[in-house]
A and B are shown apart, each in its own frame.
Chain A
Amino acid sequence: MQLTVWTYEGPPHVGAMRIATAMEGIHYVLHAPQGDTYADLLFTMIERRDKRPPVTYTTFEARDLGTDTAEIFKNAAREAYERFQPQAMLVGASCTAELIQDDPGGLAKALALPIPVVPLELPSYQRKENWGASETFYHLVRALAGPHAPAPGSERPPRDAGRRPRCNLLGPTALGFRHRDDVAEITRLLDRLGIDVAVTAPLGATPADIARLGEADFNVVLYPEIAQTAAGWLTRTFRQPATKTVPIGFGATIDFVKEVAEIAGVDPTAVLAGAPSRLPWYSRSVDSTYLTGKRVFIFGDATHVVAAARIADKELGFKVVGLGTYSREFARDVRAAAEHYGVEALITDDYLEVEEKVAELHPELVLGTQMERHIAKRLRVPCAVISAPVHVQDFPARYSPQMGFEGANVIFDTFVHPLMMGLEEHLLGMFRGDFEFHDEVQPSHLGHGAAPAQDPTQIKEAEVEKTEIVSVAQGVTWAAEAEQELRKIPFFVRGKARRNTERFAEERGLATITVETLYDAKAHFGR
């Protein structure tokens, strides 16, 4: 048993739902008790989808156990077929149904429905959401595209010279972090390179689209957590190459363009020459000088953290002080990236462990998920959300991709926005004695940060717990004079100064912090 307060990923059948809900013309019959239908609200409330997920739950009860749960499943599958007339069906079990061992695959087969039925074996007690999504997509691709596979060992016929190269975009799902906008951005980028998108899957694809995945010249893997397994099978079966670079960030987008151009045999010069991103100039502009060496902690899914670390380090001039992921399947990639930045990767799905790490490192910026947003709020560190698990706010109305050149612009704003702006930081330093600058004044551009928007799924009576700046020291007291001096330090760095000074005093066994201690600590920690 694992004690958990919050969890980064749902169970694997929620991953399967993300595939089914992303697609058209498919239905998922899930052997599950009442209560598991909560998952519907992830899509209708958090993602604001206007349709119910295409999922039928069998809703078995205690009194059905040991008698006719198998019959309940068969009825549900039959009725779902009649009502929704899908082109293909996924069948599986949630964690409770897994224990009663009804074998949805076998039961569905016995119904002999006139459509492809793909059974899913998603061990709930071992695996989690992203794995479930990946496995579901892989089995769906195998089942639907498999019948069109060329004979083993046969060569792929050369592309007709008269047509543009074609690729599939693999990996975007329902409830993904900005997947909808990434697909639009990358489709446009590929078009400018002279490459057509044959099928985007699973987002928006029908079972018929999945069946013709093998027709494209190559595959673009947008989200390895979801699509890498399926892409690997497509490479082996259809001899379709697959991309390795995920185009998040300016540099990664350039690498991606080069990689795709190489695979497709097109000339990237024009696209690269006109690389329309403001990130490089914004980052070089004088106003960004204050970003230099800002200490950043990054946690989220593997794809987004690896990308965020590269952007933070190379494109914004931050210092990566912590890097981690909950995607155990991709731990190796994150460890390799962490090593590159000289830190040790934190691989965990325990958010308390992440909180401890953030408190210990006291970074100036946290890039993370909704969990880290909360941790950062508690510790009063600025934070930007870069990865799932998501929140209704992470499905903005505006166009807000993470990928491609526009994605790089969005990311520049996202990472920089929670921090003080350059000019503001200087002015605050200069005018700190001014009566209009005091503790209670929020930086002007953070006005909304003081009162976070309400999430409709939140409870009205909920009262966000108030927290104080955490003192690291115990038994260290501040001399009145030193306390006075501390107040002269601009409020936005005062918390850090307090913590640093206390740590400094504690490490040296000082019982009282004097003005001297304060400045000794400042000299010690100065960068």
Chain B
Amino acid sequence: MNPAGVARVTTGCSEAPVLRERGQREVFCGLTGIIWLHRKIQDAFFLIVGSRTCAHLMQSAAGVMIFAEPRFATAVIEERDLAGMADANEELDRVVTQLLARRPEIKLLFLVGSCPSEVIKLDLSRAAGRLNEKFAPTTRILNYSGSGIETTFTQGEDACLAALVPEMPEAPAGAPASLLVVGSLADVVEDQFRRLFDDLGIGPVGFLPPRSSTELPAVGPNTRFLMAQPYLAETRRVLEKRGAQALQAPYPFGAEGTTAWLKAAADCFGVDESRFTAVTALGRERAKRALSHYQQQLAGKSIFFFPDSQLEIPLARFLSRELSMRIAEIGTPYLHRQNLAAELDLLPDGTVLSEGQDVDRQLDRARAARPDLTVCGLGLANPLEAEGLTTKWAIELVFTPIQGYEQAGDLAELFARPLNRAARLEV
């Protein structure tokens, strides 16, 4: 069935029309980025200034209490805070003081705005300035918004990293070209990439976010940056404002994506062709071998993406080109054409793209398409399984290391496993 209002395209997807939807969304808000960010930046603490709903969201989304003492908390706004703004500011200062007394080892504190704090216009940037006077340099205080009225899921990371950019030291004038990898990656993936860049002779290489808030890399006009995540539009903008230049590349998923991503850096840093081939050959070979285990199982199977993390387009590209899957629909919460230009070119002709969401209509389309595999959020997965559709939790694609050569097989496995399970079960 060709859903009404979606025109099929003939060549690539860079110019393809997109079905834009406005309705109920089944997407986490930007606060949830804290779940991986607090594990990544190990000396940072995230204080959500929000409601009981925000606190409840965080523990429900993260599973009840995985961490005995996570490095995030909520300052819950109460009735009396709503009475007057001055009062709310005093209250916030009191809560921050209390928190830092309890966790004196915290080097960086993010005040994270939420829907209610945005609506009552609690000025967290002023609060951060005020609290900095009290706690800097022991603890640096920054702010960003992870509110659901402004951000979806992974955009929380974008807002967080964008808040870090002004804190990055200025690269000295005339500094040699440096490479910056932008977007949080699992430490193991970061280390793999670092080794590859070393072997290619590219350096110095910095990562944003760093594992420790005190190791922010320098940035300047000679900085070239490679985005590891497609959802960092604002971070890209503020980095460019500081003179850094983005390298256009597909994202490092699968053998092809990883090679193209590394190649963008190699070309920029003048690495010669033979060296590039020599350095990447082994990884490419291993990735292809790992993927071959899943070829037979996945080839020809159709897949439907509900919008979740903005990783949908690069993932669909990987699945269609390296595993021959058929794309029924790619939903994405937000389509940033500039960040995805290289990806859109690689999508098969006629791919159905949708941006935003009206979940009930999209469910109708998924039911009509009867895809072999549906990628969706946690709220939809079990109901769709009950309707006989095989599903993959989108969130696992955010929390699992899936980038780079060594993870290509793991990535394919994430899609193969639900199909494998469905085939095994006789109940």
Q: Interface on A for B, CB 8 Å cutoff?
A: 1-7, 9-11, 13-14, 33-42, 44-46, 48-52, 56-62, 65, 76, 79, 83, 94-96, 99-100, 123-126, 128, 370-371, 374, 377-378, 389, 391, 455-462, 464-465, 467
Q: Determine if B41 is an interface residue (Cβ-Cβ < 8 Å).
A: no
B window 64-101: CB within 8 A of A: 64-70, 72-79, 81-82, 88, 91-92, 94-95, 98-99
- Please give the distance in Å from A166's CB to the nearest CB on chain B: 34
Of all chain A residues, the one with the shortest Cβ separation from B148 is: A35
Q: Determine if B60 is an interface residue (Cβ-Cβ < 8 Å).
A: yes
Q: Interface on B for A, CB 8 Å cutoff?
A: 23-32, 35-36, 39, 49, 51-53, 55-57, 59-70, 72-79, 81-82, 88, 91-92, 94-95, 98-99, 115-116, 118-120, 147-150, 152, 186, 360, 377-383, 385-386, 393, 396, 399-401
Q: A41-B378, A94-B53, A455-B63 are in contact. Are A5 and B73 (CB under 8 A)?
A: yes
Chain A residues positioned under 8 Å from B28 (CB to CB) = 35, 38
Chain B residues positioned under 8 Å from A36 (CB to CB) = 53, 57, 148
Chain A residues positioned under 8 Å from B24 (CB to CB) = 37, 56-59, 76
Contact among A1, A49, A56, A460 for B382, CB-based, below 8 A: A49
Contact among A13, A14, A37 for B27, CB-based, below 8 A: A37
CA distance A276 to B118 in the complex (A): 58
Q: A6-B59, A45-B382, A51-B386 are in contact. Are A124 and B67 (CB under 8 A)?
A: no
Which of B23, B75, B186 neighbours the largest number of chain A CB atoms within 10 Å of its CB? B23
- Please give the distance in Å from A177's CB to the nearest CB on chain B: 13
Contact among B63, B115, B401 for A459, CB-based, below 8 A: B63
Contact at A62–B27, with CB atoms within 8 Å?
no
Contact among A1, A46, A460 for B75, CB-based, below 8 A: A1
A-B contact pairs, 30 of them (CB 8 A): A3-B99, A4-B74, A4-B76, A6-B55, A6-B59, A7-B55, A7-B59, A11-B51, A13-B53, A14-B56, A35-B29, A36-B57, A38-B29, A38-B57, A41-B60, A41-B377, A48-B382, A57-B24, A79-B360, A95-B116, A99-B120, A370-B65, A374-B64, A378-B68, A389-B64, A391-B64, A459-B399, A460-B399, A460-B400, A461-B39
Contact at B68–A459, with CB atoms within 8 Å?
no
Contact among B39, B120, B382 for A44, CB-based, below 8 A: B382
- Please give the distance in Å from B376's CB to the nearest CB on chain A: 11
Which of B77, B115, B186 neighbours the largest number of chain A CB atoms within 10 Å of its CB? B115
Chain B residues positioned under 8 Å from A123 (CB to CB) = 79
Q: A41-B60, A58-B24 are in contact. Are A7 and B65 (CB under 8 A)?
A: no
Of all chain A residues, the one with the shortest Cβ separation from B31 is: A35
Q: A11-B53, A99-B116, A99-B120 are in contact. Are A6 and B65 (CB under 8 A)?
A: yes
CA distance A247 to B95 in the complex (A): 42
Contact at B119–A99, with CB atoms within 8 Å?
yes
Contact among B23, B75, B82 for A2, CB-based, below 8 A: B75
Of all chain B residues, the one with the shortest Cβ separation from A394 is: B64
Q: A34-B27, A36-B53, A125-B51 are in contact. Are A1 and B95 (CB under 8 A)?
A: yes
CA distance A223 to B52 in the complex (A): 23
Chain B residues positioned under 8 Å from A57 (CB to CB) = 24-25
Contact among B30, B79, B383 for A52, CB-based, below 8 A: B383
- Please give the distance in Å from B415's CB to the nearest CB on chain A: 15
Of all chain B residues, the one with the shortest Cβ separation from A3 is: B95
Of all chain B residues, the one with the shortest Cβ separation from A62 is: B149
Contact at B52–A33, with CB atoms within 8 Å?
no
Contact among B23, B51, B75, B148 for A3, CB-based, below 8 A: B75
CA distance A466 to B339 in the complex (A): 40
- Please give the distance in Å from A18's CB to the nearest CB on chain B: 13
CA distance A14 to B56 in the complex (A): 10
Chain A residues positioned under 8 Å from B74 (CB to CB) = 3-5, 7
Chain B residues positioned under 8 Å from A39 (CB to CB) = 56, 60
| Interface contact tally, CB-CB below 8 A | 222
Chain A residues positioned under 8 Å from B396 (CB to CB) = 460
Contact among A46, A50, A99, A124 for B52, CB-based, below 8 A: A124
CA distance A377 to B66 in the complex (A): 11
- Please give the distance in Å from A344's CB to the nearest CB on chain B: 25
CA distance A324 to B181 in the complex (A): 50
Q: A33-B147, A371-B65 are in contact. Are A96 and B51 (CB under 8 A)?
A: yes
CA distance A51 to B386 in the complex (A): 8
Contact at A465–B68, with CB atoms within 8 Å?
yes
Contact among B76, B360, B379 for A83, CB-based, below 8 A: B360
- Please give the distance in Å from B148's CB to the nearest CB on chain A: 3
Chain A residues positioned under 8 Å from B360 (CB to CB) = 79, 83
Which of B25, B70, B81 neighbours the largest number of chain A CB atoms within 10 Å of its CB? B25
Chain B residues positioned under 8 Å from A377 (CB to CB) = 68
Which of B24, B27, B51, B98 neighbours the largest number of chain A CB atoms within 10 Å of its CB? B24
Of all chain A residues, the one with the shortest Cβ separation from B118 is: A62
Chain B residues positioned under 8 Å from A37 (CB to CB) = 24-27, 379
Contact at B115–A44, with CB atoms within 8 Å?
no
Contact at A4–B39, with CB atoms within 8 Å?
no
CA distance A389 to B63 in the complex (A): 12
CA distance A398 to B54 in the complex (A): 33
Of all chain A residues, the one with the shortest Cβ separation from B76 is: A2
Chain B residues positioned under 8 Å from A374 (CB to CB) = 64-65, 68
- Please give the distance in Å from A307's CB to the nearest CB on chain B: 22
CA distance A89 to B386 in the complex (A): 25
Q: A11-B56, A38-B61 are in contact. Are A458 and B400 (CB under 8 A)?
A: no
Chain B residues positioned under 8 Å from A455 (CB to CB) = 63-64
Contact among B61, B73, B150 for A4, CB-based, below 8 A: B73
Q: A95-B51, A125-B79, A461-B186 are in contact. Are A33 and B379 (CB under 8 A)?
A: no
Chain B residues positioned under 8 Å from A83 (CB to CB) = 360
- Please give the distance in Å from B89's CB to the nearest CB on chain A: 10
Contact at B400–A462, with CB atoms within 8 Å?
no
Of all chain B residues, the one with the shortest Cβ separation from A47 is: B382
Chain B residues positioned under 8 Å from A59 (CB to CB) = 23-25
| New A-B contacts (15) at CB < 8 Å, excluding given A40-B26, A99-B82 | A2-B78, A7-B52, A33-B149, A40-B378, A45-B381, A59-B25, A95-B52, A96-B116, A96-B149, A128-B52, A371-B64, A391-B64, A458-B63, A460-B399, A460-B400
Q: Which 8 A-B pairs have the closest CB atoms?
A: A35-B148, A35-B29, A40-B379, A458-B63, A50-B386, A96-B115, A41-B378, A95-B51
Contact at B69–A5, with CB atoms within 8 Å?
yes
Of all chain A residues, the one with the shortest Cβ separation from B51 is: A95
Chain B residues positioned under 8 Å from A128 (CB to CB) = 52
- Please give the distance in Å from B251's CB to the nearest CB on chain A: 20
Contact among B119, B186, B400 for A100, CB-based, below 8 A: B119
- Please give the distance in Å from B423's CB to the nearest CB on chain A: 20
CA distance A391 to B94 in the complex (A): 33
Chain A residues positioned under 8 Å from B52 (CB to CB) = 7, 9-11, 95, 124, 128
CA distance A33 to B147 in the complex (A): 9
Chain B residues positioned under 8 Å from A124 (CB to CB) = 51-53
CA distance A10 to B55 in the complex (A): 8
CA distance A60 to B150 in the complex (A): 10
Contact at B67–A462, with CB atoms within 8 Å?
yes
Chain A residues positioned under 8 Å from B382 (CB to CB) = 44-45, 48-50
- Please give the distance in Å from A43's CB to the nearest CB on chain B: 8
Contact among A1, A50, A371, A459 for B35, CB-based, below 8 A: A459
Of all chain A residues, the one with the shortest Cβ separation from B50 is: A95
Q: A96-B51, A459-B62, A467-B68 are in contact. Are A34 and B399 (CB under 8 A)?
A: no
Contact at A459–B149, with CB atoms within 8 Å?
no
CA distance A95 to B75 in the complex (A): 14
- Please give the distance in Å from B347's CB to the nearest CB on chain A: 26
CA distance A45 to B381 in the complex (A): 8
Of all chain A residues, the one with the shortest Cβ separation from B92 is: A1
Contact at A34–B53, with CB atoms within 8 Å?
no
Contact at B77–A1, with CB atoms within 8 Å?
yes
Of all chain A residues, the one with the shortest Cβ separation from B53 is: A11
Of all chain A residues, the one with the shortest Cβ separation from B96 is: A3
Of all chain A residues, the one with the shortest Cβ separation from B68 is: A465
CA distance A185 to B152 in the complex (A): 44
